Amino acid sequence: TGFHQVEVFFRARITAGTLDPAWRDPEAVVTDRRFFARDDLALGRVRFKPGSLGQAAWGEGLLYDPLERLVR
């Protein structure tokens, strides 16, 4: 159908230590994890979908984003 069904985003901050590059989700739900800043999105350093990701991460309150077409 051209639609991606499920993505879950979390707002997080590293307060101490470092990320272990060998970490894997034991349930295999998380397939990719990245930390980036608001400027990374705004300046095009990170390719991302959905288009509302910046609002979801740095906006106020909850956000519902309807499905976006990924293939045109």
Question: Looking at residue 42, what DSSP letter applies?
Answer: H
Question: Looking at residues 27-38, what average pLDDT do you find?
Answer: 82
Q: How far apart are CA 44 and CA 46, in angstroms?
A: 5
Name the pLDDT band for 6 (thresholds 50, 70, 90).
low
Provide the percentage of residues in the chain whose pLDDT is more than 90: 11
**Which residues make Cβ contacts (< 8 Å) with residue 53, sequence separation at least 6?**
9, 41
Query: What is the tens place of the pLDDT at every residue in 50-63?
Result: 788 888 888 888 77
Provide the mean pLDDT of the chain.
80
Gyration radius (Cα) of the chain, Å: 14
